[in-house]
Amino acid sequence: MKHLIVKPFPKDFFWGASTSAYQVEGAWNEDGKGPSVIDMREKYPEGTTDYKVASDHYHRYQEDVALMAEMGFKAYRFSIAWTRIFPNGTGDVNIKGIEFYSNLIDELIKYGIEPIVTMYHFDLPYALQTRGGWSNRGTIDAFVEYAKVLFENYGDRVKYWLTINEQNMMIMHGKALGTLDPNLEDPDRELYQQNHHMLVAQARVMDVCHQTLPQAKIGPAPNISYIYPASSKPEDVLAAQNFNAIRNWLYLDAAVYGRYNKTAWSFFEEKGYVPVIEAGDMEILQKAKPDFIAFNYYTSKTVESSTGDGNDKNGTGDQEIVIGESGVYKGHSNPNLPKNEFGWEIDPIGFRTTLREVYDRYQLPVIITENGLGAFDKVEEDGSVRDPYRIDYLKKHIEQMQLAITDGVEVFGYCPWSAIDLISTHQGAKKRYGFIFVDREEYDLKELKRIPKQSFYWYKDVISTNGENLS
Ligand code: BG6
């Protein structure tokens, strides 16, 4: 639809940005923090650093929040490191960890910035992993125990909660993210069992949140990308339906409706991935209802029908770029889309499509919790950091979000990735996403000085005009 009149962004729209604890904080073993699966990874991608210091936000959060306030942030989405609160995943609470996030939340509130808290962003406590991680139903109880402590300590100030960041990516690409236990014997079968446990854990936590904090709102935070068929061939359309179900709707149907998506379920049956569901699990899923859907969007995906000959994996690079599943769908590079420096297709219109589809299916308010462009930014001789490519990416996505709002989608916030430079999941410190440059290199920490980028000033203007001025 080509709108002649575009609706404005809602008043009180949550303009902000996101980070995650392990990618930004550093201080990986300070003040009683326990190790997470990320800290204990056997190796990191070649030529990339670990997360021990990251952007040193743990020690510099006041300076960072002041810069966010200067940009005019209305919201900041960050994650709490489970291992700062429970160094062993469960058991004794670490008071220093409680204090850190309490101080961070107070600092945000001081500037009128709404804290939006992700409870778990990839960094499962290593102590839980050694006991089977998400394969062990005990981890469900540990997550609920952890959530209760967060609600008790921060529920007076935090109104917006996100349960699990990108559960779908942890299940489908855990190896690349470093969240998959490398010793799993039958990873594919086991992963969908873990997925089931995460769904139950999420549902229980949503329920506890509603019971204990009636004013709070809580939702899931998957990565959602609408899947296109490579052509109008019916076989390709079926393949796209398959992948949409397995990658996207499986997770949201369970979170919102408390049921397994039928196409995804038939995929489990076909492949031998059917999870064990214990008595009462489905009732738990059905009882819990999210208040909104948060999702991360970077790119769309395109697939064609499977050749079934073992050559369905298609694409280059890492993470999600190589996709395909024998007999189900085959990855296809979309010739209509440009790619970023890392091979990710750039698709702002796909963002509008995805927003419309999510809202049509679930009829819940939506907040975008990640969207952004990774790039090799650098400091110019005059000390500035120019990132017009990032401005271009964000501008085009914001335009499409506004069109989706005009289409009728209820969007209440936009928190792109990332507020400040942090360590990328796949390409270390050199791949940057932030509005604020952190002056460090992969292996040389330098002084970790903060430098507002060109996009910082641009976004400040976007926020101050409530999205009217995108130029
Ligand atoms: C999302 C994650 O998948 O993508 C973030 O939630 C991550 O943690 C982001 O950093 C971008 O991915 P990458 O690999 O470029 O850091």
Map out the domains of the chain as residue ranges: 14-464
The SS3 call for residue 370 is strand
Burial category of 393 from C-beta neighbours within 10 Å (exposed 0-12, middle 13-18, buried 19 and up): buried
Exposure class string for 176-214: b at 16+ Cβ within 10 A, else e: bbbbbbeebeeeeebbbbbbbbbbbbbbbbbbbbbeebe
Res 417 pLDDT > 70: yes
Q: What is the mean pLDDT of residues 74-85?
A: 98
Q: Which of 107, 166, 190, 325 is the catalytic position?
A: 166
* Residue pair 25/54 in contact by the 8 Å Cβ criterion: yes
**Is a pLDDT exceeding 70 seen at residue 316?**
no
Cα-Cα-Cα-Cα torsion 421, 423, 425, 431, nearest 10 degrees, comes to 60
309: pLDDT confidence band, cut at 50, 70 and 90? Answer: confident
pLDDT of residue 167: 97
Better-predicted residue by pLDDT, 318 or 291: 291
Q: How far is the CA of 105 from the centre of ligand 1 (A)?
A: 23
pTM exceeding the 0.95 threshold for the entire prediction: yes
Atom 16 of ligand 1: nearest residue by CA position: 424
Rounded mean pLDDT, 149-174: 96
Tell me the sheet residues that pair with 221. Answer: 165
Strands 329-331 and 160-165: unpaired
Question: Is the CB–ligand 1 distance for residue 453 below 6 Å?
Answer: no
The pLDDT of 313-319, averaged and rounded, is 59
Provide the pLDDT for residue 321.
66
pLDDT at position 197: 97
Q: Is the pLDDT of residue 454 over 70?
A: yes
- Ligand 1 pocket member 162 (CB < 6 A): no
Closest CA to 327 of 270, 287, 251: 270
166 is catalytic: yes
- Candidates 29, 144, 31, 27; CA nearest to 98 is 31
Average pLDDT over residues 242-267: 98
pLDDT at 236 over 90: yes
- Assign 315 a pLDDT band (cuts: 50, 70, 90): low
Average pLDDT score over residue span 293-298: 98
- Lowest pLDDT segment from 161-170, 194-203, 299-308, 346-355: 299-308
- Residue 185 pLDDT exceeds 80: no
Please say whether the beta carbons of 402 and 467 come within 8 A. yes
Ligand 1 contact, 424 CB (< 6 A): yes
- Give residue-wise pLDDT tens across range 14-65: 999 999 999 999 999 999 999 999 999 888 888 888 899 999 999 999 999 9
Asked whether the CA dihedral 251, 253, 257, 261 is positive or negative, the reply is negative
Residue-level pLDDT at 48: 87
Q: Tell me whether residue 370 is one of the annotated catalytic residues.
A: yes
Q: How confident is the model at residue 79 (pLDDT cuts 50, 70, 90)?
A: very high
Q: Which atom of ligand 1 is nearest to the CA of 372?
A: 11
What phi and psi values does residue 302 have, to the nearest 5 degrees?
-135, 140
Q: Is the pLDDT confidence value at 457 over 80? A: yes
The pLDDT assigned to 173 comes to 87
* DSSP annotation of 133: G
As a CATH number, domain 14-464 is: 3.20.20.80
Ligand 1 atom closest to residue 319's alpha carbon, by position in its atom list: 14
Mutate to test the pocket of ligand 1, among 370, 376, 423, 430 (most ligand atoms within 8 A of CB): 370
Rounded to the nearest 5°, which phi and psi values hold at 197?
A: -65, -40
pLDDT of 313 strictly over 80: no
For residue 186, what pLDDT band results from cuts at 50, 70 and 90? confident
Tell me if 431 CB under 6 Å of ligand 1: yes
Residue 320, pLDDT > 60, answer no
Q: Is the pLDDT of residue 128 over 80?
A: yes
Asked whether the predicted pLDDT for residue 346 surpasses 90, the reply is: yes
pLDDT computed for residue 189 by the predictor: 83
Mean pLDDT of the chain: 95
> Is 209:148 a contact under the CB 8 Å cutoff?
no
Burial class (CB in 10 A: 0-12, 13-18, 19+), 73: buried
Tokens of 462: 């976007």
Report the SS3 class of residue 158.
coil
What distance in angstroms lies between residue 43's CA and the mean position of ligand 1's atoms?
18
Q: Give the pLDDT band (50/70/90) at residue 178.
A: confident
Best CA proximity match to 13, nearest among 80, 72, 78 = 72
225 lines ligand 1 (CB under 6 A): no
User: Alpha carbon 304 to chain centroid distance?
Assistant: 26
pLDDT tier for residue 289 given thresholds of 50, 70 and 90: very high
Name the residue of 425, 426, 427, 432 whose CB sits within 8 Å of the most ligand 1 atoms, as the mutation to test its pocket: 425
Q: pLDDT tens digits for 420-435?
A: 999 998 889 999 999 9
